[in-house]
Structure 1
Amino acid sequence: METQTRQAIDAFQNGFQQLSGLAVTYAFSVLGAIILLLIGYFLAGVIERALKGAIGRVPGFDQTLAQFFAKIGRYVVLALFIVMVLGQFGVQTASIIAAIGAVGLAVGLALQGTLQNIAAGLMLLALRPLRVGEYVEVGTVKGTVEDIGLFATRLRTIEGVYVLAPNSTLWSEPVYNFNRNKVRRNDLIIGIGYDDDIDLAQKTMLDLAAKDKRILRDPAPSASVSELGASSVNVTLRYWTSASDYLATRFDMTKAAKLAFDEKGISIPYPQQEIVYREVGKQGAG
């Protein structure tokens, strides 16, 4: 019994001595690792704030894109210090970097669509074919832009419907931006009867354009016969307005033209079809 107790005590003492030796051996490594992590965490924050401030001061640079690059800088600094900490314990950093590269490649292949959205989001933020508050049409997607993210863009349709479009979709199609240019042209087409006075109709439309202050004088409005239709002579009033006044002016001018034509006795015919009846003579019995 005494022999077993003595063996247990000797084993405990040997284990304690080994642990003490390991503690002494790695104490400085652990302390150095903690210091490196603290320095890395502090430096990463400094780098992130510095990048965000520097990029944010660039005229016309999107804030979302500035924040994204600042985060990238932070993570790069943290990754470098983690590799340095692992090197303190004798870990082969070359193999770690290779493993990280392999994992990154696998993740990239698995998230190929997501990465495409991120790349497209960066291009949208950099080139800015659309901005918050602008009305755009991109393929089947149309609406007012409310937010441009790194993965998707949020829009609101005229009917108030919520739309979340992937950035890759918006980047791969032509973007029709209805607010980017300051002025827009509208062609107001109204059909009149073939028996009506064309010159009077043109003058009436030009007079309406002259009275509306939202319609620009340069280029000047014009009225012309654009088509001889099946049931009407189509008269077109072409004018320019600011992009913000486009819809309101279009609606008001359409109403004003109808009222003015009614007042001057100019008809706006419905589609009609002319039917001719011919009497066929009866043939006598032979």
Structure 2
Amino acid sequence: MTDLLDWFAENQESILLFSGNVVVALFIIVGGFMLARAIANILVKRLDKSNIDNAVVSFMAGIIRTIIMVAAILMALSHVGIQTTSFIAILGAAGLAVGLALQGSLSNFASGVLIMIYRPFKSGDYVDAGGTAGTVQRIELFTTVLKTPDNKLVIVPNSKITGSEITNFSEEPIRRVDMVIGVSYKADLKKTKDVLMNVITSDERTLQDPAPRVAVTALNDSSVDFIVRPWVKSADYWPMYWDSMERIKNALDENGIGIPFPQMDVHLHHPEGEAGVLRVVQQKEES
């Protein structure tokens, strides 16, 4: 007991200094934790106003809070005389190893964060992204789930989506339906144009602003091509396209306007050197 009291008496100044450092270190840890929570709350409030996905907000707030807390713990350990250089080196090496092992997943994660921040599409949109066309079901941190028109669920890695073109068919309220109709060279162009225009303008789904358009677009080998371009609401695009193609065919038949088929000439060479020509027609005679 006497030896212990003597040791305390001899090291009283060092003990008091160490105790003070421990108290300061505790204050650093508590203050760091409080600062981490405050900054995370401020970040959440700021990001909530920008309509960023809640999953991204929570994850980013958690990352910031963890970084500040780790920094506070390292500062506290350093203040009591513990060397933190080795800890930092170990954390750096571990982070590098994890990053190399999960570089594909990290790429998908970073892409998921970008998608949720910049929001090129949202759940319910019909998009063509990452080589797949479908309706967006869910946007997750690593993948995006699409449902194709034939009712298949396709899970697309987010890095594949951000690394390619993204076409959002649902972003705008209206779309233009593009159809190309070929008619015979014998057809009356003005009459044909009137027939095509009447087909699309008589459909109540056709918008008047922007105005629909019908015009000659090409003089091909066997047909005169017309572009037929009505504007419709995005939800009416495919029904309008399918119905218009059927109605156009019926209207052209009713008005005696022919739709040409391709034809070709076949040359037959006889062994005696006499040549004959046989015309093979791959079309029905126009009425």
Secondary structure at the counterpart of residue 120 of structure 1: helix
Q: 1:31 & 1:162 partners in 2: Cα distance?
A: 58
Q: 1:102 to 1:53 in 2, by over 3 A?
A: same
2:178 aligned to 187, 209, 222, which one?
Answer: 187
Q: Deviations over 1:31-55 (max 9, x none)?
A: 9999999998888667655543442
Q: Which has the larger radius of gyration?
A: 1
Residue equivalent to 1:255:
246
Q: Aligned partners of 1:242 and 1:190: how far apart in 2?
A: 22
Identify the match of residue 141 of structure 2 among 142, 150, 154: 150
In 1, Cα distance between equivalents of 2:167 and 2:89: 45
The TM-score, its normalising length taken from structure 1, stands at: 0.72
Deviation per residue, 1:213-261 (Å, 9 max, x gap): 3222223222122223333322221222232222221112112212222
- Look up the match of 1:16: none
Corresponding position of 2:193 = 202
2:58 to 67, 72, 88: 67
2:225 to 230, 234, 238: 234
Q: Which residue does the alignment assign to 2:12?
A: none
Q: Is the 8 A contact 2:222 2:260 kept in 1?
A: yes
SS at match of 1:235: strand
Partner of 1:92: 83
Partner of 2:10: none
Query: Paired residue for 1:173, among 147, 161, 164?
Result: 164
Q: Percent identity?
A: 37
**Structure 1 residue 66: deviation in Å?**
1.4
Q: CA RMSD in A?
A: 3.6
Paired residue secondary structure (1:219): coil
Rounded Cα–Cα distance in structure 2 between residues aligned with 1:45 and 1:247: 51
Count of matched residue pairs: 254
What does residue 125 of structure 1 align with? 116
Pick the aligned partner of 1:164 from 123, 142, 155. Answer: 155
- When normalised by structure 2's length, the TM-score is 0.72
Mapped to 2, the partners of 1:139 and 1:114 lie a distance apart of 16
* Partner Cα separation in structure 1 for residue 117 and residue 52 of structure 2: 7
2:107 is matched with which residue: 98, 116, 119? 116
Give the deviation of 1:274 after TM superposition. 5.7
- Structure 1 gap segments, 5+ residues each: 1-24
Alignment partners' CA distance in 2, 1:276 and 1:263: 37
Tell me the residue number matched to 1:267: 258
What SS does the corresponding residue of 1:215 show, helix, strand or coil? coil
Shift of 1:268: 2.4
Is 1:57 aligned with 2:60?
no
Task: Measure the CA separation in 2 of the matches of 1:205 and 1:127.
Answer: 42
Shift, 1:137, TM fit: 2.1
Partner letter of residue 52 of structure 1?
A: V
Q: Deviations over 1:127-181 (max 9, x none)?
A: 2222222222235233222222222211122222221222111111122222223
Which residue of 1 is the match for residue 127 of structure 2? Answer: 136
Q: Using the alignment, how far apart are the partners of 2:167 and 2:133 within structure 1?
A: 9
